[in-house]
Structures are given as structure tokens and as C-alpha cells.
Structure 1
Amino acid sequence: MDVASTSPQTPASGTAALRGPVTGGERAATPDVARGFMLLLIALAHASLYVRTEESVLMNHPVGGSALDRAVTFAGVLVMDNRAYPMFAALFGFGMATMVARQLAAGATAKAASRLLRRRGLFLLLFGYIHFCLIFPSDILGPYGLAAIVIGWVIVRGGRTLNVAVVVTGVIAVVVATLLSIALAFSNDPHGNSFRGTLWARDYGEAVLARLQEAPFADIHVMIGWPILPAILVGAIAARRGYLDDPVRHRAVLRRVALVGLPISVAGAIPIALVAADLWHPSGLVTGLITTVDIVTGFIGGLAYVAVFGLISARRKERGGEAGPVFRAISAVGRRSLTCYVLQTSLLTVFLAGYTLNIGDRIHATGAALFALGVWLTGVMVASLLERAGRRGPLDALLRRLVYGRGQRAAVRAQG
């Protein structure tokens, strides 16, 4: 969800000229393919929220079902839960830092670049609010827009400030995650059924009215309840050091992150996966602590996933051939991540919500995973068609125009 054009925009007086958004030729392949894959993880996580059973475990997964359902739940927690958020956050931070670097290289002041980040954050916050209220009340756009407003100023500062901010926000994130996880474990709703809220609503009008009030608090909860801020800042550091722009050169770093991060991620998720699959029933305190471990190791896992896609891109570049059809298709999704994200949440709502086709009442974990895969593949198909036609995703194009102003519209149209 970054932005592109070739003509510089004239900013307010007292600042140097701002560049338009990144052009197609300037885009790094690794972040795009990682975003495309990330949307599959998000679809899988979101679909299970709609499955209505007598009770739920750890907010995201239905209890019981067949042996296959339990296996799907276990696998989902192992590789997906609390991993998509930090993965997206790191890619979001990468995009923010890339935007700032391009503006500064074009002669813009740090103040002007920071203002551009805040503008982008504000529009993402607006998009997220609309999306939360009308389509899906587990939105990720709003929290990341809010994060851009809160810490965008750090990304225009020097490397030392950025490094200190990673440590500070990381420590705060661990403390907050621990307190929230333990508090939930000892609450009257230890399984987090209330989290589903209007996801299980039967009346759309009542759901929207409730969401209008819930959205601001939900954005804050997601931003501080998961290690989103440190992940964004780590992504910004990766952009400054060129880890994803030139994965061949930085293969050794990416390999270390992947080889160390993936085993830690899986090991940290095993205890909570056993609980989610209804195979272990620990005490409240233990549940809270292993949830914290899952969140922290999920942060590491999200970064490791990004590193894996960097290694894939490096290998493809070294072979010197054109990208294969799968790589191109997933990259097309990543280049239209905002459009594809809203498309897949809309399709999940249409099929699974109680006030639409209500299929969520008639499936379990396996059915939810199949629906998620189906809507993601639909997004892949739509993105591939748009790619062939040389068109951007409509919502991505709208965000670009809003962020960069009217002076960029002609340039954006000219680039498709």
C-alpha cells in the first residue's frame, strides 16, 4: 500500500519539492511478493473468526470438530496467528522508509517528508474506519494508519534514533502484551468470545451502529496489543540498509534471520497451538504467559517470513530468468494489496456472516480455511487481470491520489 508517480508535487511554501509516488520500475520485487503471501495468512486468520460454535479458544479458532478440523487449527496457530500482523507491519515500515528516502533524495525537507507520512496515515485511518464499520470489524488498516501518525516522525530521523526507538517500543510491546494476555486469561471471558462481537451479529444495521463506536478503541488496542510499532521500525531499518532492495547482496543476513527466526517462531507457537486444538487445558496464568510467548515469537516469525521471500527473490535474480507465473501472480496481489485486502474481507463477509449467507454457522476450521483460500485465489485472479491490463487496484490508486494530491492525478492515470 505504497504510492507512485513521476511528476514532483509542489508542496507548501518553505519546503523543497516533493516527489510523487514510486513508479513501477522503482518497486522492489521482494516486498510485493511478501505482501501477496501475507494476504493469504490474513484471509486464513479472518475466516476462522466467522465460525460460530458453542465456545471459542483464544479468540480466533473454533473448538472441537473433526480430527481434520483440529489439525487445521493446530497448523494455523503454528504458522499464521500473530505472524501476519508483524509481517505486514515490517513491510509497511519498509514502504514508509522508502517513501521518506525518495523524498529526501529529491530535495524535500525532513519536515515535508514527515508531513507526507502523516497524511498517508490519516487516509489509512479513514479507510480503516470505513472498512471496520461497513465490512469487517477486525480491520488492520486503521491500526497501521494510526501507527504511521504516532511514529512516522522517527523514520525521518537518523539511524541512532531509529535503533533506540526499536528497543523502547519493543520493551513496551512485550510488557503490554504480557499484561493484556494475563488479564484476558483471568477475565470472565477467558476464551475471548466477546472479541467476536459484531462478527457474529445477525442484524447488519445494529452491527454497523455498534462498530461506529468501537472502531477508535479497536485501532488503539491492535496497535498496542501486538508488537506492531517495533516491527514497523525494523522494516524501516531494513529499507535503509537495502536488505529487500538488493537481496542478493544481503543474502547472508536474510539467511540468518530465516534460519534463526523460523524455528523460534514455530517453537513459541506450539504451546498455544495445543490449547487452540483443544489438546491442552492449562491454568489461566499459564495460558496468559504462553499467549505472550506466542505473540513475541510471532514478531520474530513475521520478520523471518519476510526474510524467506528475500531469499526467494535473490535466488530468482541469480538465475537470471524471468519470474515464473506464480511469482508474478503473487507479486500482482502485493502491488494491489489494499484492493485485494478489502476484496477478500468483503467476500468473507458475504459468504460467512450471520446477516448475509451465514455459511459460518455450517462449517468448521477446515471449511473456513477452504473459504479463505478461495477468496485469496479470487484476489490473485483479479490482480493478475489488472496486471495484464496495466491497471492499478482501484483502492490503491485512490489512496495514491489522496496522499499526493490533485497534481498527481494525471501522472497516476498515465501509469495505469
Structure 2
Amino acid sequence: MGGRITALDVLRGVAILGTLGTNIWIFTDPAGPSGFLAGASGAGEALLRMASNGKFLALLSIMFGIGLALQHDSAVRRGLRWPGWYLWRSALLLFEGLLHFVLIFEFDVLMFYALVSVLVAFLVGRSGRVVRGWLVGALAVHVAFVGLLTLGMLAGEASVSGGLAIDTSSWPAHVQSRLDNFLALRLEAVFVLPLSTVLFLAGARLLRAGALEDSLRGQRIQRRLMVWGLGVGLPLNVLTTLAGGAWFAVDRYLCAPLVAFGLLGGVTALVHRMRASAGPVRRGVTAVGRSALTCYIAQNLIASVLCYQWGFDLVARFGHWGVWFTAGMWLVVSALLVVGASWWMARFRRGPVEAVWNWAYQAPQRRPAAPVG
């Protein structure tokens, strides 16, 4: 069990830092979020974006599904009603995501994770046949969505940019821009609900199949994940990236999630192989994984303060360095997360956001003591 927990912490840390690899392009674009949505400026930048685009967000979704399955299994072992209080967790996550969206980051994922978690909470304990049916059905809907969007983009009748105008000149103006464009900015969240359902359910099934175990069956699953995800998914990901902007949906929403499963298998296998030699990098990534919610919010806050006009506006000073500036910002923010998480987790059981969140989760469950006499 200890190895499985360690693998989960590392996987979460990798997913968080990898998600920053996607988001950092938003923060460092000279035109801000609006410029990022317009797409890469060339094949070189497109390939660099491809290294993180969609993959680690999909990996994070799989981790949420694994976490949900662990919560369910724990409730069953303790004889607790399910989903029971788990729905309160989902409500808190939705509220936290809303605050994160309004105050910090327009591409928040916590809100739609909360919505998907409600559906999957009612499915995770059902029979394998029921879960497979929902998984296949959600996948079919998702593929249909991607196909329709791709056909529209190939015909020139659809676009992913939407002509959004995000004002980053001041923090209040930035907040107002998010509120003014709320529906448009949340459109992707609606689009990926079927995909998130697939990834949540797949994560739960992989956990129960032993994909994270350091055992023969676990190793077999990890190898298969790497073959399909890295051997098949990654070449397809490169092809769709180079094929042009019209293939954006296939690239981000079909190929990238396939690669995410390869990352799951590869990182898990590496963790088990190197479990006796946990160096400072792995310990730092593990600390990020243990405080994943804090680090997800912190990375967007730190990058916003460093890059946007209402902060230090480093983009105006160094944005002409292009991809070098973007890579440098990723390294700086990642280092701050790793160092900060390592320091905090060496002293506390939970990350700061996790601690507040846990208090809010437990608060309504507390009952006043019955009066004596």
C-alpha cells in the first residue's frame, strides 16, 4: 500500500507541474489569454506547446477518478453511506473552483471536476457492466463532439478562439473580464464533461485493476499503458499538432488523453523501480502532489502576479525572448512550488488550502454534545 500511495503522490505532482506547462503559455503570451487562444505562431512553438497541451490535465482528471475510488472504498470499509457526505465535498470543490475562476484564473478546472464527481460518485460502486456502459457511452459522445468540431474547423465554420477580449491592465479589470465572458470561458468545461467522465471512470477502474501496484499484474498494465499511450498516442499527437489548427480538437481532446495514460504507466513504473532512491527532485514533486490543490491554485496566482500588467508585468520586459521566456517562467514557478511545498509538507500534514478545505468539509458533520441530565 505504501508504494501505491507514493506513486499517487508523484503522479499528482507530475500532473500539477505539467498542467502549469500548459497554462504558462497563457500567462506569457504578449496578448494575454486572448493571444494564447489564437494559437501557436509556428511549428516550433506548436511542438513545444504539444509537450504539455492537454496531457497533464487529462492525467489530473485520471487522478481525480482514482481519488474518488479511494474515497468510495474507504466509505465501504467503514460501513458509511455512499455517496453521503462526498456530495458535500463536490459542493465545496464547485465553490472553490468558482472563486478560483473569478479571482485568479479564467481556465479553472475545479468547477467541472466538481460536476463530474457528482455523476461518477453514483457510478463508482456499481457493477462493472454498468460502469463500462457509462464509460463507452460518454466516450462515444465525446468523440462525436470532437468530430463535429473538427469538421466545422476544417470547413472554416468553427473556431476555438471566439474573439475573447481579456483585460489584464488591472486586477479589477481582469476579474470583470472573466465575469463579462463567463459563459464563453466556461464553454470548454461543458465540452469536456463527457471526456472527464471517461477519465474519472477509467482512473477508478485502473486503480481496482492494480495499475498502480508494484506487482506482476501491475507491471503488465503499466507496460500496456505505455505502449498505447506513448507508442501510439504520442506519434498521433505529433501528427495532429503539425497538421494545423483545424485539428486542434483531435490533438487536445483525443490524442493528448491517450498520451496521459502512457504517462500514468511510465511514471508509476519509474516510481516503483527507483523507490529506494528518492532524491530531492522526487521528494519535491511528491510534496507538490501531497498539496496538489494548494499548488494548482498557487501556480496560477504566482504566474499571474509575475506576468500580467497588474503585477510585475514581466511579459512587457522579457516577452520578446519568446519561448525562452516561457520556459524560464515555467522553471521559476515550478521551483517556487517545489521548494514551498517541500518546506510546508515537512512541517504540516496538509497543504494550506487542503487544511481549510478539510475544516469546511468536516464543519457541518460535527454534532453538538447532548446535554447532560
Read off the aligned partner of 2:47 and give its amino acid letter. F
Runs of 4+ in structure 1 off by over 6 angstroms are 24-27, 54-58
Task: Answer yes or no: is the 8 Å Cα contact 1:29–1:331 preserved in 2.
Answer: yes
Match of 1:11 in 2: none
Structure 2 match to 1:41: 18
Match of 2:92 among 114, 117, 123: 123
What is the CA–CA distance in structure 2 between the aligned matches of 1:148 and 1:355, rounded to whole Å?
A: 35
Alpha-carbon shift at residue 158 of structure 1 (Å): 2.0
- What is the root-mean-square deviation in Å for CA atoms of aligned residues? 2.9
Query: Any idea what SS the aligned residue of 2:133 has?
Result: helix
Asked if the contact 2:25/2:36 (under 8 Å) is kept, the reply is no
1:207 offset after TM fit, Å? 2.5
Asked if 1:366 corresponds to 2:338, the answer is no
- Counting only pairs closer than 5 Å after superposition, residues 3-22 of structure 1 correspond to structure 2 as none
CA contact (8 A) 2:15 2:59 kept: yes
Please give the per-residue CA displacement for 1:135-168, whole angstroms capped at 9, x wherever unaligned.
1111111121121123321112222211111111
1:347–1:153: structure 2 CA closer, same or farther, 3 Å change rule? same
1:355 corresponds to 2:310: yes
Deviations 1:257-309 (Å, cap 9, x if unpaired)? 1122112222122234336xxxxxx5xxxx43463254211111111111112
Separation (CA, whole Å) in 1 of partners of 2:311 and 2:207: 42
Report if aligned partners of 1:57, 1:191 keep a CA contact under 8 Å in 2. no
Summarize the Cα distance change of 1:316–1:54 in structure 2 as closer, same or farther, 3 Å threshold: closer
2:198 aligned to which of 216, 219, 230: 230
Match of 2:126 in 1: 157
- C-alpha deviation, 1:402, in angstroms: 2.1
2:226 maps to 258
User: CA offset at residue 358 of structure 1?
Assistant: 2.3
Structure 2: any 5+ residue segments left out of the alignment? 367-373
What is residue 80 of structure 1 aligned with on the other side? 52
**Superposed displacement of residue 324, structure 1:** 2.8
5 Å-filtered alignment, 1:51-200, equals 51-53=29-31, 59=37, 61-63=39-41, 71-77=44-50, 79-109=51-81, 113-183=82-152, 190=159, 192=161, 194=163, 197-198=165-166, 200=167
User: Displacement, 1:405?
Assistant: 3.2
1:244 matched to 2:212? The reply is yes
Could you say which residue in structure 2 is the equivalent of 1:332? 287
In the aligned structure 2, how far is the partner of 1:210 from the partner of 1:186?
Answer: 30
Distance 1:137 1:324 in 2: 35
Residue 93 of structure 1 contacts residue 235 of structure 1 at CA under 8 Å; is this kept in 2? yes
Measure the CA separation in 2 of the matches of 1:372 and 1:329: 16
Aligned match of 2:371: none
Q: Secondary structure at the match of 2:163?
A: helix
Gaps of 5+ in 1: 1-23, 65-69, 276-281, 409-416
Change (3 A) 1:223 1:251: farther
More divergent stretch after superposition (330-339 vs 149-158): 149-158
Give the whole-Å Cα distance in 1 for the aligned partners of 2:35 and 2:286: 34
Q: Give the equivalent residue in structure 2 for 1:375.
A: 333
Deviation, structure 1 residue 367 = 0.7
> Among residues 171, 181, 206, which one is paired with 2:173 in the alignment?
206
CA contact (8 A) 1:55 1:63 kept: no
Tell me, in whole angstroms, the C-alpha distance in 2 between the residues paired with 1:236 and 1:188.
38
Change (3 A) 1:56 1:265: farther
CA deviation vs aligned residue, 1:119-146 (integer Å, no higher than 9, x gap): 2221111111111111111111112112
SS in 1 for 2:311: coil
Query: 1:402–1:191: structure 2 CA closer, same or farther, 3 Å change rule?
Result: closer
Whole-Å separation in 2 of the counterparts to 1:161 and 1:84: 28
Where do 1:289-328 residues align within 5 Å?
A: 289=247, 291-317=249-275, 321=276, 323-328=278-283
Report percent identity of matched pairs. 21
* Distance apart, 1:208 and its partner CA: 1.4
- Distance in structure 1 (CA, Å) of the matches to 2:154 and 2:161: 9
Instruction: Give the Cα separation in 2 of the matches to 1:255 and 1:313.
Output: 14
98-107 vs 33-42, which moves further:
33-42
Deviates more, 1:81-90 or 1:224-233: 224-233
Query: Which range moved further: 203-212 or 232-241?
Result: 203-212
Q: TM-score, normalised by structure 1?
A: 0.78
Q: For residues 352 and 114 of structure 1, do their structure 2 counterparts lie closer, same or farther at Cα, with a shift above 3 Å needed?
A: same
Task: Determine the C-alpha separation between the residues in 1 that align with 2:106 and 2:133.
Answer: 33
Alignment check: 8 A CA contact 1:135 1:345 kept: yes
Pairing of 1:265-284 with structure 2 (within 5 A):
265-274=233-242
| Partner Cα separation in structure 2 for residue 245 and residue 216 of structure 1 | 42
Q: Give yes or no for contact 1:40–1:376 (8 Å, CA) kept in 2.
A: yes
Distance 2:314 2:228 in 1: 40
For residue 346 of structure 1, the aligned residue among 301, 310, 322 is 301
Number of the residue aligned with 1:8? none
